[in-house]
Structure 1
Amino acid sequence: MIEARELRKEYGDFAAVEGSSFEVAEGEVFGIIGPNGAGKTTTLKMLAGLLDPTGGEATVAGYDTSETEMRKRLGFLPEESPLYEEMTPITYLQFFADLYNVPPESAQTRMEETLDELDLQHRQRQLGDMSKGMKRKVAIARSLINDPDVLIYDEPASGLDPLTTNYIIEFTAQLAAEGKTIVFSAHNLFHVEEICDRVAIMNEGEIVARGDLEQLQAEHGETTYHVYTTVQFDGAVRENGRYRHTVESMDAVDATRERAEAEGGKVVDIRTEESSLEEVFLNVAESGRREG
């Protein structure tokens, strides 16, 4: 559904994106994460046809990103999305439905259903009088007015209160469940981890790691084992009448079991803790700084 090949974007002597290549399958949610200035937004804008690549190429839904037909298949939500504040949600969405030549009856049905799903009230209020969260919901509805196959969402919940943020993340997950192909960027890695099938980590304009969470954890994360015994040794922490020993390998787990038995006790539980996406990201970033 999306294919990027050696995408590059230069501004003078500065390369904001250097040779990024990736594919996004139909119905997949693909996350792009990285620190500020990593090239995420530039990459998303090239995919959306808003920036011309200096090098490489990209296709969306089978069309080159420079083609008008591609834009008919795409819904794009930028991080900053100013609205026409003198309009109401209904007139604003109708304006964009007309731009996409959506038949009036289809447009009306789509607007009402989407605003219902987003739980947006006060649809006749001017946008300039609405909260940031309400405006963001209208911007999301705008991205869906043409019933696109592909959605590119850059920080869809940026700066919103926790309740609205969770609502928008859940709505994005619902869109994925309905078969939309989504490229998703967010600084809150918990949200990325929650809804993305695969993730690309960018740093200094390059993709430095990619894969599903299991692959990223295997390559860049750490596994911690919490071994619970009936006896205490080596500084174990007492928890609910037993002792927790934290180790980082199966060999250490076996050694802890043998030590417990030697002390007249036994292992009663073993729990595994995998690195979160945030911990994987920090490991990748730290590795890049050391190599730099």
Structure 2
Amino acid sequence: MISVRGLEKRYGSVTAVDGVSFDVEAGEVFGLVGPNGAGKTSTLKMLCGLVDPSAGTIEVNGFDAGDPEMRRALGFLPEESPLYDEMSPRSYLRFFADLYDVDRAAATERIDAALDRLDLDARDRPVGDFSKGMKRKVAIARSLVNDPDVLVYDEPASGLDPITTNTVVEFTRELADDGKTVVFSAHDLHHVESVCDRVAIMREGELAATGTLADIQAEYGRVEYRVFTDVQVADADPAGDRYATVVASMDDVEGVREAAREAGGSVVDIRTRESTLEDVFLDVAGA
């Protein structure tokens, strides 16, 4: 559904995206994560044909990203999405449906269905009276009026309250379950874990890691063992009435056990900690 090969974007002497390649399948949610300035938004804008690449190729739903026909198969939600404040959600969305030449009856059905799923009941009030979360829902509905196969969302839940955020995240997963391809960026890694099938971590314009969350954690994650003893051993720190030593393998655990035995004590507890996605992200992205 999406094929990106050797994608580059240069702004003068600055390289924002450097040799990025990935594929996204139909019905998949693909997350693009990384620190600010990593090249995420530039990549998304090139996917949508809004910015021309300096090098490389992008194919979206069988079309080159620069082909105007591609945009009929795509819905885009930018991080900042101003609306026409004097219009109601219904009139605003009908306006965009007309731009896509959507039949009026089909447009009405799609608009109502999208707003129903997003729990937005105020459909005839001016958008300017809405909260940020309500406006975001209208913008998401706008991305669906042409019934696109591919959706590109840049920080869809940015700055929203927890309830609205949960609605947007769940809705993103529902879109993929309906067979749509979704590519989105997010700073909140909980959202990424909740909804993504695969993730690409960007760092300084390059892809530092790509794969399922399980694959990335298996490759880049770590396991730590915190071993508690009732006597002081080398490299142990006081922990209440005990001593704690952090080691990286079961062989090291046995080493601590032997050291405690030689000091006249024993191991009284062992606790295991695996890297979270945030730990992996910080290590891989260098954030």
* CA-CA distance at 1:195 after TM superposition: 1.2
The alignment of Structure 1 onto Structure 2 pairs a total of residues equal to 282
> What is the match of residue 149 of structure 1?
149
Distance in 1, matches of 2:261 and 2:31, equals: 46
Distance in 2, matches of 1:217 and 1:135, equals: 36
TM-score (norm 1): 0.86
1:124-273 correspondence to structure 2 within 5 Å? 124-225=124-225, 232-233=230-231, 247-255=247-255, 272-273=272-273
Q: Deviations over 1:122-159 (max 9, x none)?
A: 11111111111100000001111111111111000111
* CA-CA distance at 1:23 after TM superposition: 0.8
Amino acid corresponding to residue 114 of structure 1 in structure 2: A
> What is the match of residue 29 of structure 1?
29
Matching of residue 20 in structure 1 with residue 16 in structure 2: no
TM-score (norm 2): 0.88
Q: Deviations over 1:144-181 (max 9, x none)?
A: 11111111110001111222112211211222222221
* CA-CA distance at 1:69 after TM superposition: 2.1
Retained in 1: the 8 A contact 2:231–2:265? Answer: no
Distance in 2, matches of 1:148 and 1:115, equals: 16
Retained in 1: the 8 A contact 2:83–2:127? Answer: yes
Q: Deviations over 1:90-122 (max 9, x none)?
A: 001111111112211111111111101101021
- Segments of structure 2 that go 5 or more residues without pairing to the other structure are none
* CA-CA distance at 1:202 after TM superposition: 1.2
Retained in 2: the 8 A contact 1:184–1:192? Answer: no
Amino acid corresponding to residue 2 of structure 1 in structure 2: I
Instruction: Determine helix, strand or coil for the equivalent of 2:43.
Output: helix
Instruction: Determine helix, strand or coil for the equivalent of 2:87.
Output: coil
1:37-116 correspondence to structure 2 within 5 Å? 37-116=37-116
How much identity, in percent, do the aligned residues show? 60
Retained in 2: the 8 A contact 1:118–1:137? Answer: yes
* CA-CA distance at 1:214 after TM superposition: 2.1
* CA distance 1:279–1:86, shift in 2 (3 Å): same
Amino acid corresponding to residue 79 of structure 2 in structure 1: E
Distance in 2, matches of 1:237 and 1:94, equals: 64
Distance in 2, matches of 1:232 and 1:25, equals: 54
